[in-house]
Amino acid sequence: MTRSTETPRGAAGSEGAPAAKSLARRSFITLFLLSLAVMVTAVLAATAASYSSYEREAEDYLLAQTRTCAASLEGKSAQDMVETLQALPLTDTRVTLVAADGTVHYDSAVDASTLGDHSQRAEIAQARESGQGVLLRRSQTLGKDTLYAAVSVGDEAVLRLAETRASLASFLGRMGWQLALSLVVIFALSLFASRLLTRMVVRPLQEIDLTRPLQNRAYAELQPLLIRVDEQRRELEDQNDELQRAVTLRREFTGNVSHEMKTPLQVIGGYAELMEQGVVPAQDVPRFAGLIRRESEHMRLLIDDVLALSRLDESTGGDEPVALRQACERVAARLEPASSAKSLRVTLDCQDAVVKGLPSSVEQMVYNLLDNAIEYSPVAGVVSVQVRGEGDGVVLTVSDQGPGIPDELKERVFERFFRVDSSRSRDTGGTGLGLAIVKHAAESMGGTVEVLDAPGGGACLRVWMPAAS
C-alpha cells in the first residue's frame, strides 16, 4: 500500500481556510537580507574610502618628493641637472627630465634618446602651465597603475617622477582574505541578529493566552483585536450560561409536568378500579364519575397550559395590532358563567387601546388574569378590569377582593407551577401555570407584569405593554 504524504498545492492547514503565511519565516528572511545588504554595503564603502585616501596620500607624497628634487635642480645647467638626477638614490621611482621643447634630457628607466617629444604629456603640459601636475594612468592588464608627478624647474625644464602602485583590483586582491573573513563574519552576524530579532518579535505573539485576552502585554497594535476576542469570549460564556439555564429549566419543567399529571391519573385510576371491582355502591357511582371527570378536566387544562407555554417559547411574540378593550370584553363574556356562579360583579372600565402582539396570546393573558380574579374572589365580590393609556404604553389591571398575595411571594407567583397554597390551588382547579403564561406573553410583547395590592385588600395584577404606534 502506498500512502501519499504530500500536501496538495494550495492545501490549507484547516479545511477551507487559506494556507497561513509564517510571520517568523517572512520576518527572518527580510531581516536577514536587509542586514546582509547593509553590512556588505558598509564594508564596501569603507574599503572604497580607504583606497581613495591611499591614492591621495601616494599622490601627495610623490608630488612632495618631486618638488624637493626640482628645488635641488634650480639654477643648474642641463648637464648638472642630469648628473644630480643620476646621483639620486631612488630605486622604485622613474625620473624623467623634459626640456622646454619637449625633448627628454634624462630618463632613469629608458635611454632618453629613444624617447620622443614629451611636451604633450598631460602632466608635463599641466606643470608648464601651473607649475605642477599629477596624473594617474590606470592599467587594465597589469594590475598596476602608474602615478606621475611633474614640477617645472624654472622656465627651462620639467622634472617628472613616476611610481607604479597597486591598482584597485590588486588592492582588493591584497585584502583578499581580510575581505573574505569579514564577509563570513557579516553573514554570521546577520544570521544571528535576524534570528534574535525575529524571535523577539514573534515570541510575544506565540505567548498570547487567548483564554485571558486582556491579561496579555503583547503589542499595543494587537489591543483592539484582543479586546474583540475578549468580548466574543464573554458573549460565548453568557450564551453558554443561558443555554445551561434553559436546559435546567426545561428539565425541571418536564419533571414538574410529569409530576402534575401523575396525581390526577392516580386519582382517576384509583376511582375507576374501585368502580371496576364493584365496591362502589350504585348511588355513589355518579359522584365517583364526577370526581373522575373533574380530574380529567384538570389534566386537560394542564395540557392546554403546557402547550400554551411551549407555543410562547417558540413564537417571537407577533406584531399584529390587538384591541385590548374588545379582548377584555370577549374574555369577560366567556367567563360570565363562572362569575355569575359566584354572584360576582365584573366591571369593565376600558379605554380604547391597541397593543402589538399575537391576538391569541393577548387574549390568553387577559383570560388567565380574570379567571384567577374570579377564582380567588369571595362570593358576591367585585372584580374590576381596567385599561388605560400611559405614555407610550398601555396598562391593564385586574383587581379583586380576594385574599391577595403576600409581599414576599409577589415575584414567585410568576414561576412555573408555583402556588401560594398548593392544596387550595389544586382544589380550585389551578395548574400553577396561569401567571407564568401571563408573564411570558407580556414579556414577549416587550411588556412587564407585577402584583400590587388592590385598595380593598385583594390582589391587583398590573400589566404594562408598549402601545402599537
Contacting positions for ligand ADP (CB under 6 A) = 368, 372-373, 376, 400, 402-403, 405, 413, 418-421, 425, 430-436, 459
Strand residue runs (E) in 138-187: 144-153, 157-166
* Adjacent-strand bridge partners of 385: 348, 398
**Minimal distance in Å, beta carbon 204 to ligand ADP?**
58
Residue 328 CB, nearest approach to ligand ADP (Å): 16
- Minimum distance between the CB of residue 368 and ligand ADP, rounded to whole angstroms? 6
Q: Considering beta carbons, is residue 226 or 373 the nearer one to ligand ADP?
A: 373
* Separation between Cα atoms, residue 442 and residue 365, nearest integer Å: 8
Paired residues of 148 in beta bridges:
135, 162
Q: Would you tell me the crossing angle of helices 434-444 and 285-314 to the nearest 10 degrees? A: 20
Which residue, 96 or 431, is less far from ligand ADP as judged by CB? Answer: 431
Cα–Cα distance measured from residue 259 to residue 299, given in angstroms and rounded to the nearest whole number: 12
CB of 18 to ligand ADP, least distance (A): 57
Q: How far apart are CA 113 and CA 52, in angstroms?
A: 36
Nearest CB to ligand ADP, comparing residues 373 and 395: 373
Q: Cβ of residue 331: shortest distance to ligand ADP, in angstroms? A: 14
Query: Which of 35, 372 has the CB closer to ligand ADP?
Result: 372
Of 356, 439, 366, give the one whose Cα is nearest residue 397.
366
- Minimum CB separation of residue 408 from ligand ADP in Å reads 13
| Separation of alpha carbons 37 and 179, rounded Å | 15
Judged by beta carbon, residue 320 or residue 421, the one nearer ligand ADP is 421
* Closest among 54, 58, 50 to 163, alpha carbons compared: 58
**Which is nearer to ligand ADP, 81 or 405 (by Cβ)?**
405
Instruction: Spell 411-427 as b/e; 16+ CB within 10 A means b.
Output: eebbebbbbeeeeebbe
- Provide, rounded to whole angstroms, the least separation between the CB of residue 282 and ligand ADP: 35
Q: What secondary structure letter does DSSP report for 419?
A: -
With respect to ligand ADP, which residue has the nearer C-beta, 194 or 372? 372
How is 20-57 classified by DSSP, letter by letter? Answer: PPPHHHHHHHHHHHHHHHHHHHHHHHHHHHHHHHHHHH
